[in-house]
A = this chain, B = another copy of it.
Amino acid sequence: MPKVDLDAVTPSNATGYPPPFNQAVAGRWWKRIAPLAGLTEMGASHVTLDPGAWSSQRHWHEDDDELLIMLSGTAVLVEDEGETELRPGDIAAWKKGRGTGHHLINRSDAPCSFVAISAGPGGPGGYSDIDMVWTADGKYVRKDGTPY
């Protein structure tokens, strides 16, 4: 059935981030939509952020476009250019290869939720605030290439 039954999925807060970078996303609960619906041309996740949680470390994708739609609650979008509050119905989008990072922080006292969508070949990416990048095969390493 094409209506996605999110209630049938148990959310996960798993992350591949090495410590201490995993701590900020401990309150990020995600459900993968794309495999549930059989999508192969895009990635899509439903994400809930507990109060204080981050959507990710502040990052960008070299080869993938991203789009985010706020569903409930509020979050602060943090970028080099400043901070923007996102509310239900707001849409944010980042074209591939911007080279400047973004993430959301839930600074409210209630959960917030959004859908995050990505499309592209799935390449490497960078982080704005920490000594980390991810490689084309999805590994987290230091900027000099050494592993964590």
Contact A4 B41 (CB under 8 A): no
> Among B1, B36, B79, B89, which residue has its beta carbon within 8 angstroms of that of A72?
B89
Measured CB to CB, the closest approach of chain B to A32, in angstroms, equals 11
**Complex CA distance for A41 and B34, rounded to whole angstroms:** 16
Interface presence of A64 (CB below 8 A): yes
Known: A65-B42, A67-B44. A37 touches B93 (CB 8 A): yes
Contact B3 A90 (CB under 8 A): yes
Count, chain A residues at interface, CB 8 A: 40
Interface presence of A28 (CB below 8 A): no
Q: Which residues of B contact A94 (CB under 8 A)?
A: 2, 37
**Complex CA distance for A27 and B102, rounded to whole angstroms:** 36
